[in-house]
Amino acid sequence: MILRRLEHTDAEMMFDNWTSDDKVTRFLRWDAHKTIDATKNMIDQWINSYPDDSTYYWGIYLKDGEMIGSIGITITSEYDLKGELGYKIGSRWWNQGYTSEAAKAVIDYMFQNTDIERIDAFSSVENTASGKVMEKVGMCYEGFLHHYYKTRDGFQDCTMYGIIRRMWEQMQ
């Protein structure tokens, strides 16, 4: 697996492999894309955010170059040195360890290359696979959040996970 910044040429793979998949977007804040133009617009937004020090975002690619998802950290508080982890992966690649591998790599990168102190993530209580990814990469369950965010299906109750630098260092 390879993590790299998105490029405009990734639009077709993104659209075919996950942005148009209703199963993938079920727990996201945006609906599955109906056209490749929606995916192109999303790529433009992410590429335009690269110069900003508050966004770290990569595509997840198999060694053969096939893009199967995306992952990133958004700095939610520069003062508190805190970021939020988020990821998406095409349903054809679920339960194969790719998301956990990518999340571990991103957490390692952030703690090795930035001054971030804390990374947190949340998932809908109905999305148990996402919670398992967070646990697998060393994040600790920190609580339950009522109606934390809204999707096409309504408000989602969520579980919150987190990892701080000291915890990560102890795992090394």
- Decide if 116 contacts 110 (C-beta within 8 A): yes
Handedness of CA 113, 161, 170, 71 (dihedral sign): negative
Average the pLDDT over each of 49-53, 55-59, 101-105, 148-152 and give the range with the smallest value. 49-53
Residue type at 82 in one-letter notation: K
pLDDT at 146 over 90: yes
Q: What whole-number distance in Å separates Cα of residue 109 and Cα of residue 111?
A: 6
Over residues 137-158, the mean pLDDT reads 95
- Decide if 111 contacts 165 (C-beta within 8 A): yes
Q: Which CATH superfamily is domain 2-171 in?
A: Gcn5-related N-acetyltransferase (GNAT) (3.40.630.30)
pLDDT at 86 over 90: yes
Q: Which of 155, 141, 129, 104 is nearest to 23 (CA)?
A: 129
Burial grade of 3 (CB within 10 A; 0-12, 13-18, 19 or more): middle
pLDDT of residue 60: 98
Q: What whole-number distance in Å separates Cα of residue 146 and Cα of residue 124?
A: 10
pLDDT of residue 74: 94
Residue type at 64 in one-letter notation: D
The per-residue pLDDT for range 11-38, each reduced to its tens digit, is: 999 999 999 999 999 999 899 999 999 9
23 in helix, strand or coil?
helix
In the block, tokens 């919670």 appear at 131
The per-residue pLDDT for range 113-124, each reduced to its tens digit, is: 999 999 999 999
Indicate the pLDDT class of residue 134, thresholds 50, 70 and 90.
very high
pLDDT at 140 over 90: yes
Domain ranges of the chain: 2-171
Average pLDDT, the chain: 95
Q: How far is CA 19 from CA 37, 109, 118, 152, in A?
A: 11, 25, 28, 15
pLDDT of residue 55: 87
